[in-house]
Structure 1
Amino acid sequence: MAEAQLQQFLEKVRQLNGFIDLSEIDPGLRQELTDCSTHQAVVALARSRGFEIGQRWGEKTPAAPDPPNLLTQACPAAGEERSEVLLKLSSWRLERIHSCQACSPPDFWYDQAEHEWVVLLQGSAQIQLEGEDRPRELCQGDSLLISAHRRHRLVSTDPDPGSIWLALFWHQACEG
């Protein structure tokens, strides 16, 4: 195998691993993946989340589209949340999350293996951290650091045009 082919193979494995990691921490994505009935549907779903898993060895990488405006994309349906991977390296990923009247299911708590830092770009939201009496009220410009395995849940987000977040995820210990 030539070095160029090896690099293409390794990049495909990285993309697959990133998509798998995301599906394990995002119950909505996991359900969408479960609902896929063809390989092409899985490839399209991965692409919609910023992962290119359908490329075969020797194919040229498609040209990247212009980056979207973070605030002007269509709002998801009420009760839904849409995540999009904007940037990803082996040690971290940056996502845009658009929520519309979204909340975690009753008795559901996120318990992520990654640290997460979020900043609210638009709207407002309430996040409940386990062990705290009241949800945290966040509005435009507020940020929150959620350490790995700190259980938390989304209590509420705004109706249309929704709440828009930037979320940075990473595995290594926080330095401070």
Structure 2
Amino acid sequence: MPPAKANLFSLPNPLSNIEVFEPLFDKGNCLIERIISSGQITPAGEWYDQKRDEWVILLQGQARLAYEDGSETALESGDYVLIPAHCKHRVVYTSAEPPCIWLAVHLD
């Protein structure tokens, strides 16, 4: 039986009030997930401190990441960034229109 087809740009209707994390592939030391954000940010004072490297590309929308050292990275459609393991970061902005569609690859 052939694998099922899916589309990264297909959005749930209606969009949720919470961020959607959808694993697309999870095997061994690699997790690929689609994330849909529509205005959600990391709560104040909280940081992501992941044990794996994360390569992330913003496929649609605009977003901004902040880092513990005070720097920020603005992202537009097509921009990508590699976030090393244990690099504390947070999402401080995501566009609601259009919603953000991220593709994240987590690697050991």
Taking structure 1 as the reference length, what is the TM-score of the superposition?
Answer: 0.57
Q: What are structure 2's unaligned runs of at least 5 residues? A: none
- Please report how far the alpha carbon of residue 73 of structure 1 lies from its aligned counterpart in structure 2 after TM superposition: 1.6
> Over residues 22-74 of structure 1, what are the superposed CA-to-partner deviations in whole Å (9 max), with x where a residue is unaligned?
xxxxxxxxxxxxxxxxxxxxxxxxxxxxxxxxxxxxxxxxx787232110222
> How many residues are paired up?
107
Indicate yes or no: 2:86 matched with 1:149: yes
Q: What does residue 75 of structure 2 align with?
A: 138
Q: Larger Cα Rg: Structure 1 or Structure 2?
A: 1
The structure richer in strand per residue is 2
**One-letter amino acid of the counterpart of residue 54, structure 2:** E
The structure richer in helix per residue is 1
Q: Residue 72 and residue 100 in structure 1: after superposition, are their counterparts in 2 closer, same or farther (change >3 A)?
A: same
Q: What are structure 1's unaligned runs of at least 5 residues? A: 1-62, 172-176
> Over residues 104-145 of structure 1, what are the superposed CA-to-partner deviations in whole Å (9 max), with x where a residue is unaligned?
011000001011000010001000011134x21000000011
Q: What does residue 91 of structure 1 align with?
A: 29
Query: Is residue 62–residue 76 contact of structure 2 (8 Å, CA) maintained in 1?
Result: yes
**1:1-176 matches, cutoff 5 A:** 66-74=4-12, 76-78=15-17, 80-133=18-71, 135-171=72-108
Sequence identity percentage: 37
2:33 aligned counterpart, secondary structure: strand
Runs of 4 or more above 6 Å deviation? none
Give the alignment's Cα RMSD to 1 decimal.
1.8
